[in-house]
Structures are given as C-alpha cells and as structure tokens.
Chains A and B, each alone.
Chain A
Amino acid sequence: MINYLYPLYEIVRNYDRCIACRVCERQCANEVHEYICDADKVVCDDSKCVNCHRCVALCPTRALKIVKSGNTYRENANWSCKTIDEIYKQAGSGGVLLSGMGNPEKYPVYFDKILLNASQVTNPPIDPLREPMETKVSLGAKPKAVERDENGRIINNLPPQIKLSMPLMFSAMSYGSISYNAHESLARAACELGILYNTGEGGLHEDFYQYGNNTIVQVASGRFGVHTGYLNASAAIEIKMGQGAKPGIGGHLPGTKIVGDIAKTRMIPEGSDAISPAPHHDIYSIEDLRQLVYSLKEATGYKKPVIVKIAAVHNITAIASGIARSGADMIAIDGFRGGTGAAPTRIRDNVGIPIELALAGVDKRLRDEGIRDNVSIVVGGSIRSSSDVVKAVALGADSVYIASAALIAMGCHLCRNCHGGKCNWGIATQIPELVKRLNPDLGYKRLVNLLTAWEHEIKEMMGLMGINSIESLKGNRLMLRGVGLSDRELEILGIKYAGS
C-alpha cells in the first residue's frame, strides 16, 4: 500500500570510501542497511532510517552521512510538510501520533535571551583557579527560627536535607524506559559526582540499592515497584504528579518491554502493559497530596525529604504555593521542553509552559507569600548547558534536573524515536544485544566528564560575576539581562533589559 511518505532524511554513502565491511548493517536495529552479495555492495532503505547516527559514528571509513532529503511538497505557509505528513500517517493508521524526547518546535527559548553580568572595576572578578569557589548546595525546607538548648547552644532543627556538590541532579528516567546499563551509568556517576539520580517510576533494581545514598526514588500514579524497602533505600522520595512532556496524562510502557528484571522491579507480571493513570487515584486535590506526603514521611520515619514533581502549566504559581504548604520539602518543576520516552506528539508539542517563566513566577510568588524557605525549587525541561544552570539558579532555582543532556552524553543523538524501543545506542531499549552496546564503565565516565566540565564552567561564570558561593547566585536576578524580550516577558522573568 502506498503510504504517501517520502523519507525526511537520506543516507548518503560514498562508495569510494565504503569497504563493504557491513558494520552499518549489523549496527542498525531498524534494518536500514543491507549487503547485496552479488554486487558486493551495501545499500540502504532511507524510509526505515530514524537518523540516530549509529552507523555514521561507527563507519570505519566515514563513508556515511545523513542529510535532509530535500524532497518537498508545494510550499505553503499554512500547511507545512510535517503537518501534511502527519495527516498521511494518521489517515493510514488511525492512531495517535507518538514521539520521544522533548518538544522540538519553534517556541522561544528564554535561556537564549538572557545574558549574564561580569565584574568590571567597581568589584573584582574572582579566579576559581586561585580562590575557593563553592558550588555545594543543601536542598530541603528551612525552619522559621533558630532554637537553642538551655545552655544557649543552637539545636539542629533542620528537617532532612539533600546535599549536592553542585546544583544539579539527574532527573527521573525509569528502568524500563531506559536500560539497565543506562541506569547503572547514572547511578555510578551520581555517586562519584556527589549528586543524585532519580529512579523514575519503574522501581529500583536490586543491584542498585548500593547507590541508595545518591538515589531519589519516585512514587508515581502507577505505584510500580513501591514498597517500604524501596522508600527507605533512598536519599529522597519524589511524588510524580506530572511531567513536562505530557502534563495531565499518565504513562504507558508496553508489555513488550515488561520483561525479566523489569517486571520484577515493577512488581507486575511479565508481558503486562504498565499503565500509569493520569491522576494519582488517591490525589484529587491539594489536601490529598498533603496526606500522601505525610504517608511517605511516616513510612520513612521523617528521615527522607519529599519532593513533589509537577509539570509547568498555566496555574503553576498557585499550585506551587499549595505544595509549599503541603509538608513537601521540595518542588520539582518540569518545563514543556522536558523529555520523555514516549508521549502523544500533540500533547508534547502543545501543552505546558516554558520552564524559565514558570520558575520566575513560582520563585516570586513563594517569596511574596513569605514561604520560599518552606521548599527548595528544582527545575528541569530543559537544561542544556552550564550557562542554563547558572541562569536557572539566578532566576531562583536551588538546583536543576538534567536528563536529555545526560542521555546525549551517553550517546543519544536525539533521533526522538525512544518509543520505538530499538535504540541503537543501548539507552532507550530492552533488547539485550542493543543494551550491551552501552558499556556502563564508559557511560558513567562520560557523565562524570560532562558534569565535571559543567562544574568548571559554572565556577568560571560565578567567578566573573564576583560570586564565590552558589548561595549568593540563587535568585540574584540583577546578574541577568534580557535581549529580544517584551516588557511583559521581562516583568515575568523579573529581569531588566540589557543596557538598563
């Protein structure tokens, strides 16, 4: 049957370079490449290609590259090629369009319209190679007042805190949506870096309990893999109310991925679909959330901070204000650019708001209400670089979450076909031959390298602003200036225009 679709990308093979070694053929789980014995040459079927670059990266003679096919329909300012193709797909299948990773559409990226300050003359920049430069943060609620014992000594009345070597954590990606080796890489990197990673909603594999002090365990609407031992193995517990890529809907891990240890870890039968409901069915309102927060605290002896993760939606400031009074220790906000293993395309691309605006609004609202110290704020979706981290902290975040950047460090090429389950990089797949392509010894090292580099850059940026401790950057919006923004945008971000 004709499917009306012409491939978006075209594989260009330079036959002068190709030695027909068939590496590309073996590496492609999508079966794009095929060796034709008679002709002693490798040919390819562009229509199966997801543009993941596995073959390009592994070709020993650099005989391959992938380019835009350039095929186009008659130009139309209203009907883009993409829109037309999507209609063909739905007309052919009758199904909901699915996508992986974050919203790729052309919405403003506010981080790219914010610039940082530097010290000149009136105060000195600080050289991080010569002076201590502190990036350590402590996340959690802060009490209202100091208490002392009868001898006047300060009593440590701080609720449980998370201590991080830098304001950065790996955000939730479940075991199931990503592979065992990807999880191991994240866990070991978190330990070595002195930060935390997050189990996502798929439970915690028994092999990874050893990394518990660097683990956030998630409790999501499906409650997969949640038990007392799981909760107590952690450094913190996260209640997942929503996700930036798909606010307001649940998750669906198909039964084909619920195999072996994944089924065991999720505590569900092999082959059954793991369906997370859209809401938590014990939380239909804010007062219910408070009960779950305290249930989890009771279950863990008030020793673990509780994070409530929400997607950045229109009413985010009011929701955050409610959460700050719910007993939660932290609010994690996931922006509309946040990644996902699979989401309906229309939802991923059209629901939610930018994290920069959500963060600025929430930080201000909690300060206006005098409850900012009740909670720490963690933001993700999407933090792409060390300068995004610095800008997020200056807007008011206590820490950021990164996930897409971590996956890219491990080899992800953002082909956005995670939902296909055939990740050639061994990340978003459960096919054993593919999973073993990600060597955790190398994967973890690449994550450590990435964040070590970011930490250096963060310190350099702090130093040039004359700041030698990350606390003094938090909410320090005078260090930011906007370019190409309207007055209204500047007002919401709480920053001035460059030059003023």
Chain B
Amino acid sequence: MLREGEVRIPSGCAVSGIFDRTGGRMSGENIIKSIEVMHDRSNGLGGGFAAYGIYPEYKDFYAFHIFYDSAEAKRDCEDFLERHFDIINLSKIPVRRMKEITDEPKIWRYFVAPLPTRLAQSQLDEREFVVKCVFRVNTQIKGAYVFSSGKNMGVFKAVGFPEDVGRFYRLEEYAGYCFTAHGRYPTNTPGWWGGAHPFALLDYSVVHNGEISSYDANRRAIEMHGYKCTLQTDTEVITYIIDYLNRKQGLSFKETAAVIAAPFWQTIEKMPAEQKETHEYLRTMFASQLITGPFSILVGFEGGLMALNDRLKLRSMVVAEKGDLTYISSEESAIRIIEPSLDNVWSPAGGQVVQLTMNNEQ
C-alpha cells in the first residue's frame, strides 16, 4: 500500500471552527464536541485540530510539532534543527493512551528561533527561512515530518475519528482564542498520520472539505514558486496558495479569496470601474491560483480566521454568532451542540469570504 504523498487520495470531510474576537481563551473541549456530532462525515481514517493562542509563554518562538518514525529520524532531524535554530525548549507532546488510536509515531514539540548567523547567511527573511527549513526536513529527512510550524499555535492530528484524536492529544488541557477541527473521509487507506488534516505552514493552517478539480493545475503552478507538494492533497496545495498570495505577494485575505474563489467574469463585468479593474487584474495575474470544484475551507492565521466556499457553493458551510464567539461549521448541528441559543445563523454564498479578526481589525 502506498503512503500518503505517493498517491493522491480524495476525501470527503467535516470542518468546524470557533473564534473569540476578543482574544479570550477557551479550552479545546467544545471543538471536540462540535466535530464529534459530525461523526458520520468522517470514516476513522483521519482527524485533527489547529489551536491558536495556546503557547503564550513561548509566543515569540516557532513551535514545531514533529512526527518521527524512528529514533534515527529524530536524531537526524534534531541535528538539522540544532544547526539552524536555537532550540529553547523540547518535549514529547503529551498524549492519552486509548484503544481507538494506535500505531502512533513519536510526537515531539520544539520551540525554536532561527540562528541569527544562519539566517543572515541565507539572505532570506525570517519566515521564508523557517519555511525552507520545514521543507528540508519534510523532503530530505526520512521518517521525520514537521506538521506544525507557527508561533503561538499548534496542530494536533492523527489517524482516527476526530473526537478520539482530540482526546488523545488532551486538547481540553489547552486554552486558545481559536480552534479549527477536521474529520476526514478519505477514499483510500492512507494510514499515515502526516496525511491527516489540518495542514499547516507557519501560522497558516487549513482545514478543508471537498475535492478540487483544479488540483494539478494549482499544484504545478505553485511548485514553480518553490513549494513542494509532498502529500498530494488538496489541503496542502490550498495552504501553499494562501501562503504564496498572502505572505509572499502581500494580498489581503479578501484579495486572496478573490483569486482562489474568483467572481465570474460576468459578475466582474457589472462591477464599478475601480473594483472591476482590481478583479480583472487579480484573475489575470493569478489565473493559475483559481481553485475550482467543491471546497469549504477554514484558514486559521495569527489573530484571525477566514472561511471560504468555492464559487458555486458545492459544499455546505454555516456561520453563527453568539456574543464574542463566531462558529463556522459544515453543519449547523455541530454548532447547536455547543451553543443551542445563537444570536444569528447564516450560510455564506459561494465565493463570499468570511474574515474574522481580533477586535475586527483589518
């Protein structure tokens, strides 16, 4: 059986997210409850979470979460990390042994800062340096896989049902201002933890439900800009596209959404002149980053959360609000289970971006 990355595996899925716009921190208990309701949207072959604001004591350091297949992989990877980073702290990620979750790799966490000399030598900005190092580990060190690399955030994922994965990682012991969750229904048996979602790079994390028809067009285009799609999943390529557009090209999330779920030409035609020009530009300039086919995605980033549907709305997605909290999920039931009385509930239209930021900052 080929491992994830050696074969392309489409998946159906469930997604859910909770965001506190005041930055107040909540435990991971609720996100587990939420995703658990959508049990039947997963098939036990992958689940995971992204949590933001969980490492305030190390908020200035990149938190690397790494899977190791073997002691050699760990040794090789740590050698590499020591050559490139100042390692402030390292530990096993605490887990709860349970019968539902088996075959776990070694799961380690490192808080690191790039070595100033190495960084200067590379002539890259700090974040690009970190990205390059993550790619180096994931493509060149056999049996080591960095699955989370942002500051003050972390990804927790495994093969299993998502609610079991949450309990396995003792998510209820973490407190953060934003959580996203993913339950996976792959049409194949990946059997590898790295293939579960969310997929993350720096502080961007993506959970995604859908199967995009533009995959290979997107993959081949983004690989030209220095990314390597090692997993062959939609989520991976979407994450890289967002990183490219938002971080490297400096597009806002709204502009990013106007690229990946671009308005139809017939809609652009009817826009006021200035807006029309911008949209024409974005579609022409970033034609290869347009994503077609069904998707609903939640993109976590430092201080915010973005939700987006494909432009035909071929996947369900519901948004609800209660006080300072915003909930976004594949199904309304997954929101009602944790907050039965909501201020409002609505479904974003296809291609309509929902952008949540701390205190509504832009």
Give me the interface of A with B, judged by CB distance under 8 Å: 119, 122-124, 126, 131-132, 134, 136-138, 142-143, 145-146, 148, 153-154, 156, 158, 161, 367, 370, 372-373, 396, 465-469, 471-479
Taken residue by residue from 268 to 286, chain B's Cβ proximity to chain A (1 for < 8 Å, 0 otherwise) reads as 0000000001100111110
Does B80 interact with chain A (Cβ within 8 Å)? no
- CA of A478 to CA of B288 in the docked complex: distance in angstroms? 15
Q: 4 closest A-B pairs (Cβ-Cβ)?
A: A472-B214, A466-B213, A478-B216, A476-B217
Q: Which of A154, A156, A373, A472 has the most CB of B within 10 A?
A: A472
A122, B19: Cα distance in complex, Å: 30
A131 to B249, CA, bound (A): 31
Complex: A372 Cα to B217 Cα, angstroms: 13
**Which residues of B, 230-267, contact A by the 8 Å Cβ criterion?**
249-251, 255, 262, 264-266
Is there an interface contact between A367 and B8, defined as CB atoms closer than 8 Å? no
B223 at the A interface (CB under 8 A): yes
Q: Is the interface of A mostly helix, strand, loop or mixed?
A: loop
7 A-B contacts (beta carbon < 8 Å): A138-B287, A145-B249, A156-B281, A468-B292, A472-B290, A475-B221, A478-B215
* B294 CB–A CB distance under 8 Å: yes
- Contacts A146-B251, A146-B285 given; 8 further ones with Cβ under 8 A? A122-B187, A123-B10, A123-B211, A123-B314, A469-B290, A469-B292, A471-B288, A477-B216
A367's partner among B224, B265, B281, B292 (CB-CB below 8 A) is: B224
Chain B residues with Cβ under 8 A from A479's Cβ? 213, 216
CB distance from B189 to the nearest CB of A (A): 15
Q: How far is the CB of A475 from chain B (nearest CB, A)?
A: 5
Q: Are B278 and A154 in contact (CB under 8 A)?
A: yes
Q: Does B348 contact A (CB under 8 A)?
A: no
User: What residues on B are CB-neighbors of A122 within 8 Å?
Assistant: 10, 12, 187, 211
Give the residue name and chain of the B residue nearest to A142 (CB). Answer: B285
Closest to B287 in A: A471
Instruction: Please state if B266 and A132 are interface contacts (CB–CB under 8 Å).
Output: yes
Which residues of the partner chain A approach B216 to less than 8 Å between Cβ atoms? Answer: 475-479
How far does the alpha carbon of A372 sit from the alpha carbon of B221 in the complex, in Å? 9
Among residues of B, the one whose C-beta sits closest to the C-beta of A363 is B220
Q: Name the residue of chain A whose CB is nearest to the CB of B226.
A: A370
Asked whether A119 and B213 contact (CB < 8 A) given A124-B314, A372-B224, A472-B290, the answer is yes
**Given A154-B281, A471-B287, A471-B288, do A132 and B214 touch, yes or no (CB 8 Å)?**
no
Chain A residue contacts of B283, Cβ below 8 A: 471
The answer to whether B210 has its CB under 8 Å from any CB of chain A is yes
Query: Closest CB of chain B to A495's CB: distance in Å?
Result: 10
Assess the A478–B8 pair: CB atoms within 8 A.
yes
Which of A134, A145, A161 has its CB near the most chain B CB atoms (within 10 A)? A134
Count of CB-CB pairs between chains A and B under 8 Å:
109
Using known A-B contacts A142-B284, A466-B292, A474-B287, determine if residue A156 contacts B217 with beta carbons closer than 8 Å.
no
Given A145-B249, A476-B216, A476-B217, A468 contacting B285 (CB threshold 8 A): no
CB of B159 within 8 Å of the partner chain: no
- Complex contact B213–A123 (CB within 8 A): yes
Closest A residue by C-beta to B7: A500
Given the interface pairs A123-B10, A136-B265, the reply to whether A472 lies near B291 with Cβ below 8 Å is yes
Q: Distance in Å from the Cβ of B170 to the closest Cβ of chain A?
A: 33
Residues A467 and B292 in contact, CB atoms below 8 Å apart: yes
Beta-carbon contacts under 8 Å, B3-27 to A: 8, 10, 12
Whether the Cβ atoms of A132 and B314 lie closer than 8 Å is no
B293 in the interface (beta carbon within 8 A): yes
The reply to whether B214 and A124 contact each other, CB–CB distance below 8 Å, is no
A132 in contact with B264 given A367-B220, A471-B217 (CB within 8 Å): yes
Complex-state Cα separation, A469 to B264, whole angstroms: 9
Judge if B358 is at the interface, Cβ distance under 8 Å. Answer: no
B314 CB contacts on chain A under 8 angstroms: 123-124
Task: Let me know if B73 is at the binding interface, CB within 8 A.
Answer: no
A471, B220: Cα distance in complex, Å:
12
A residues less than 8 Å from B282 (CB atoms): 154
Bound-state Cα–Cα, A468 to B310, Å: 11
User: How far apart are the CA atoms of A273 and B293 in the complex, in Å?
Assistant: 56
Per the bound structure, the CA–CA distance linking A396 and B251 in Å amounts to 26
B356 contacts across to A, CB distance below 8 A: none
Chain B residue nearest to A155 in the complex (CB): B281
Q: Which residue of B lies closest to A477 (CB)?
A: B216
Contact A158 B287, CB 8 Å, known A122-B12, A472-B217, A475-B220: no
B284 and A161 within 8 A (CB): yes
Beta-carbon contact of A158 and B285 below 8 Å = yes
B312, CB-defined interface residue at 8 Å: yes
Residues of B near A367 (CB, < 8 A) are 220, 223-224
Contacts of B293 in A (CB 8 A): 123, 466-467, 472
Instruction: Mark out the residues of chain B between 184 and 225 whose CB falls within 8 Å of any chain A CB in the assembled complex.
Output: 187, 210-218, 220-221, 223-225
Which A residues touch B210, using CB under 8 A? 123
Contacts of A123 in B (CB 8 A): 10, 210-213, 293-294, 314
CB distance from A393 to the nearest CB of B (A): 10
- Please, which residue of chain A has its CB at the minimum distance from the CB of B264? A132
The interface residues of chain B lying within 8 Å CB-to-CB of A154 are: 255, 278, 281-282
C-alpha spacing A119/B10, complex, angstroms = 12
List residues of chain A with CB within 8 A of the CB of B266.
132
Identify which of A370, A468, A477 contacts B312 (C-beta below 8 A).
A468
Complex interface: chain B residues within 8 A of A396 (CB): 220
B299-312 vs A, Cβ < 8 Å mask (1 yes, 0 no): 00000000000011
